[in-house]
Amino acid sequence: MSGHRPLGMAASRIRREEKWLLAALERTGHPVVRIDTRASAMPGRDFPGPEAVVLNREIGSVGACYLAWSLEAAGVTVVNDAAATEVCADKWRTALALRSAGVPVPRTVLAPNVDAARAAIEEFGLPVVVKPARGSWGRRVAYLTDRHAAEAVLDHCAALPAPQARVLCVQEPIDKPGRDIRVFVIGGRAVGAMYRRSAGWRTNVSLGAQVSPCPLDEDLAKLAVRAAEATGAQIAGVDLIEGAAGERYVLEVNARAEFAGLTGACGLDVAGLIAEYLKARAAA
Amino acid sequence: MAKSCPECSSPVPVADSVLVSEIVECPDCNCELEVVARDPLMLAVAPEPEEDWGE
């Protein structure tokens, strides 16, 4: 339809969510642009003009950050924006942003190297959680209950070649009830929530956690929205855990949140809601 | 559309609406495959997840 700003999606890997998103974007009636983030250097031949609004669904966090900056430099509106994408890609930067906004987070310190991590573990005591500052899908997240396991994990980290891989967050574990909560936030509004339950300690859907609807009470919605706003993310999957007394903590804010689980658990058309948000951004 | 799985040679049914870069799964060996071309249809074993992949 003439006069409508193009809506775009950038992705190198088209899974269920990306296919649903493209279909939802097509249904808005706006021209739709697809950017294949592997196809060329940036700015690329398939970069849209500055009138476009582009959803960044690049699966690699390094590529996603570079893409967001490159699109913004070309004058394109990208969601989530480059600054938010960078913050959400890093658990420590996220923790700092959340703390700064008064959002409750578990006690966490950053260990820039393995020796610092060892000292932090000594200070926190056991059990303790150790995770890479940059990582997703539960990779290399360890719940450590004894010194031998802690030393083995730290030895492994010390042997990793990339300096970034040796930067660790050391965190106080929360005695959670075998589940965590994912709230999906779009444009400052919490649109749905699900529980993720697992027999193990990690509750990532990618690791086989089972999902079920979670009541989205006002306090939960407000907390998730505050967390997303603290990082600058307009579209976010906010992960929370509950303590023994029912208090809630935010663990992380995901800027390229997967939502097949939420769509299935709650019957929520998340792709449609995201498309409508981009349409509204294009109209603004 | 159908194409042989590059891993096990079983036929992989693919919807006409399939997109380039879309991930499909072989129904026989469950290998993740990527659509690398549509006309003609070409499938390749999908890249292994990188260290920085995720949400």
Per the DSSP assignment, residues forming a β-bridge with A180 are A196
- Coil vs helix vs strand at B38: coil
Say whether B51 and A257 touch across the interface (CB within 8 A). no
Which chain B residue lies closest to A259 (C-alpha atoms)? B55
Chain B contact probe: residue of A15, A131, A180 with most B CBs at under 10 A:
A15
**Within 13 A of A156's CA, how many CA atoms are on the CB side?**
13
Residue A206 burial (10 A CB sphere; 0-12, 13-18, 19+): middle
Which chain A residue lies closest to B19 (C-alpha atoms)? A14
* Structure confidence by residue, pLDDT tens digits, A50-102: 999 999 999 999 999 999 999 999 999 999 999 999 999 999 999 999 999 99
Which chain B residue lies closest to A238 (C-alpha atoms)? B55
In this prediction the ipTM stands at: 0.89
Per-residue pLDDT at A32 exceeds 80: yes
Chain A hits for B22, CB-CB cut-off 8 Å, are 14-15, 19
Cβ contact A128:A144 at 8 Å: yes
Distance of CA A241 to CAs A1, A77, A127, A133, A179, Å?
45, 33, 17, 19, 7
Cβ contact A131:A169 at 8 Å: yes
Q: Please check whether residue B53 touches A, CB under 8 A.
A: yes
Q: Please check whether residue A256 touches B, CB under 8 A.
A: yes
For residue A1, name the pLDDT band (cuts at 50, 70, 90): very low
pTM for this model (two decimals)? 0.94
What DSSP string describes A14-64? B-HHHHHHHHHHHHTTS-EEEE-TTTS-SS-TT---TT-EEEE--SBHHHH
* Structure confidence by residue, pLDDT tens digits, A194-240: 999 987 778 877 778 899 999 999 999 999 999 999 999 999 999 99
For residue A21, name the pLDDT band (cuts at 50, 70, 90): very high
